[in-house]
Chain A
Amino acid sequence: MKNISLPVYNEKITALIGPSGCGKSTFLRCFNRMHDLYPDNRYGGEIRLFPDDVNLLSPDVDPIEVRMRVSMVFQKPNPFPKSIFENAAYGLRVRGMNKKAELEEKVETALINAALWNEVKDRLQEPAFNLSGGQQQRLCIARALAIEPELVLFDEPTSALDPIATASIEELMLELKEKVSILIVTHNMQQAARVSDYTAFLYLGEVIEYDETKKIFTNPEKKQTEDYITGRFG
């Protein structure tokens, strides 16, 4: 990946689009150092997280600390084979929170924020696998929100879901941007157009164009961007 420079604004949704293999997911994984977990990883450049202006990629920064501030939602819903409550509470438990009342309060807030509370409030002790795919994904979002992150990364969060579940997740993201910053990778152009405020088009590991979503989708500056968005390649 090369020549990437883009801002991710506070309390806004930034979308990364581009053809398969262009490095969107790799780029996303740098933001919470998940890329550390893959063999032969290598970093160059820096990602600065404000307000404290810390370089997330610096070798002096503990990746665990980065992941405590930047949480992530994956492509396929991946709840733990535990109860709904334990799933939402796991991030808090990792942070050493053990008081029952406090956990319950935070889990409730997270589930409300993930628009799942009304569906699961009476069965928090049931296994998470009893939920439908869309509910599982919202549970994963609740799990990512419970730790009150500064930035949430979404890696194609709806590509394993049906259109109805997708619509509910998109709606949810629009509500969430009031509270957190969101960076989303998507293969679905309409999705990027619907939910994001800013869009970056990546191709072969390079940012071809970055601008307000409206501008990218109505009046792109570069020919390549226009071709991709109109479906002529990729």
Chain B
Amino acid sequence: MNLPDTQSIIRRQRLYEQLFIILGIVALLVALLTLLALFTRLAIDGMPRLTPDFFTSFPSRFAERAGILSAWVGSFLVMFVTACAAIPLGVSAGIYLEEYAPKNRWTAIIEINVMNLAGIPSIVYGLLALGLFVQIFGFGQSILSAGLTLALLILPIIIVSTREALRGIPGGIREAAYALGATRWQVVSDHLLPYSSGGVLTGVIIGLSRAIGETAPIITIGALTFIAFLPTSPFMAEFPFISFKWVLDPFTVMPIQMFNWTSRPEEAFQYNAAAAGVVLLAMTLLMNGIAIWLRYRIRKTIKWQAAPLQQRRQRNRSCPFHNPQQPHRNSKRKHASSTFITALFMP
């Protein structure tokens, strides 16, 4: 092959590359701009309604008096029930699958199906919950039913993230603990659980931020759309001071409140829906933000391959050209990380 031929081939390949880059950018912009447009629209429509009164008022027949008090309180309580149910179940299942379960065909089947569970449409969970929690268990159309339904929904997310977090712990740590005579439970509770807590927590938050926006399963179990009262207070003046009566109270949640408002004919309610949308979006983004921040912190703090890093640092120190600030910065970061680990792991 002669030189001009080679050059023309290269030119052609370059052209394809350019075309693909342009295509990629366009594809990205379509997704991003749509999201941005949606959010801007929502914000413009909703902003005027985002007054303190909006958060402290019950829904009303009059759009300008309506608020999201019962909705956000409902969302908060449902999330609380969801977290209480999903975290212990999901984390224990994850630990069992990763550390205890024998590695055979049955475990493999269970693993695949846990993954599949994450892909089941949420309305199916709603139907299941309607039969199981609302009717058979007799929990009614209550906060408890909704919380448990959403817990089922996010269970696979928590199981998978727990397993990922456990898998990230080097085998040497397990070996070290077992070699000292620790039982499996001691290895899990003294080492694996504390060291994986960051990853587990991230999974939990991502799961909860998904659950908070779920509408379909909650409508299926029959949440009310118009609630002008709060559930029973969990705190009481007299002994035992804490009451769990609220779990069986009827409720509404943010997405349902939005759904209710968007289905009204009056235009003023659409602005309410937009405002509630902004609040819901902010809640979700906040939760995702916390998850990202946690993951970032944990990645920075627990460095398993500490030995090579140490050697590098020592080399730095003895190197005559090293930046004098470097050891200082390193030591500062190390210190911060150590306190963080202590804060996180010490009960």
Q: Name A's B-contacting residues (CB within 8 A).
A: 32, 34, 37, 39, 64-65, 67-68, 71-72, 74, 76-83, 90-91, 93-95, 126-127, 129-133, 136, 140, 143-144, 147, 160, 162
Contacts and interface: CB of A to CB of B under 8 A. Distances in A.
A80 B176 contact: yes
A133 B307 contact: yes
Given A34-B178, A133-B311, A160-B307, A64 B183 contact: yes
B172 A76 contact: yes
Contacts of B341: 81-82, 127
A58 to B, nearest CB: 17
A93 B180 CA distance: 10
Given A78-B170, A81-B195, A34 B180 contact: no
A94 to B, nearest CB: 5
A67 B176 contact: no
A162 B180 CA distance: 26
Given A76-B172, A78-B170, A78-B172, A67 B178 contact: yes
Contacts of B61: none
Contact of B180 (A39, A71, A126): A71
A166 to B, nearest CB: 14
Interface of B: 103, 170, 172-183, 186, 190-191, 195, 302-304, 306-308, 310-311, 314, 334, 337-338, 341-342, 345
Given A129-B303, A132-B314, A32 B179 contact: yes
Given A39-B103, A78-B170, 10 more contacts: A34-B179, A72-B179, A74-B179, A78-B172, A81-B173, A82-B345, A127-B337, A127-B338, A132-B314, A143-B180
A80 B175 contact: no
Contact of A78 (B103, B175, B181, B345): B175
Contact of A74 (B176, B195, B307): B176
Contacts of A94: 180-182, 186
B183 A90 contact: no
Contact of A90 (B175, B190, B337, B345): B190
Nearest to A95: B181
A161 B337 CA distance: 25
Contacts of B308: 133
Nearest to B178: A37
Q: Which 10 A-B pairs have the closest CB atoms?
A: A78-B172, A129-B306, A91-B180, A133-B307, A68-B181, A67-B181, A72-B179, A78-B176, A127-B338, A94-B182
B340 to A, nearest CB: 10
Contacts of B174: 37
Contacts of B190: 90, 93
17 contacts: A34-B178, A34-B179, A37-B174, A65-B181, A71-B179, A79-B176, A80-B176, A83-B342, A94-B180, A94-B182, A95-B181, A129-B303, A129-B310, A130-B310, A132-B310, A133-B311, A143-B180
A91 B186 CA distance: 11
A141 B142 CA distance: 57
Contact of A126 (B177, B186, B338): B338
Contacts of B177: 80, 90
A147 B181 CA distance: 10
Which of B302, B303, B304, B311 counts the most chain A CB atoms within 10 A?
A: B311
A95 B304 CA distance: 26
B191 A80 contact: yes
A130 B334 contact: yes
Given A68-B181, A94-B180, A74 B175 contact: yes
Contacts of A83: 342
Contacts of B173: 78, 80-81
A140 B103 CA distance: 30
A64 B180 CA distance: 8
B181 A91 contact: yes
B300 to A, nearest CB: 13
Nearest to A68: B181
Given A34-B175, A80-B191, A90-B190, A67 B180 contact: yes
Contacts of B182: 64, 90, 94
Given A81-B195, A82-B345, A127-B341, A76 B179 contact: no
Contacts of B334: 127, 130
B175 A147 contact: no
Contacts of A80: 173, 176-177, 191
Which of A39, A126, A132, A140 counts the most chain B CB atoms within 10 A?
A: A132
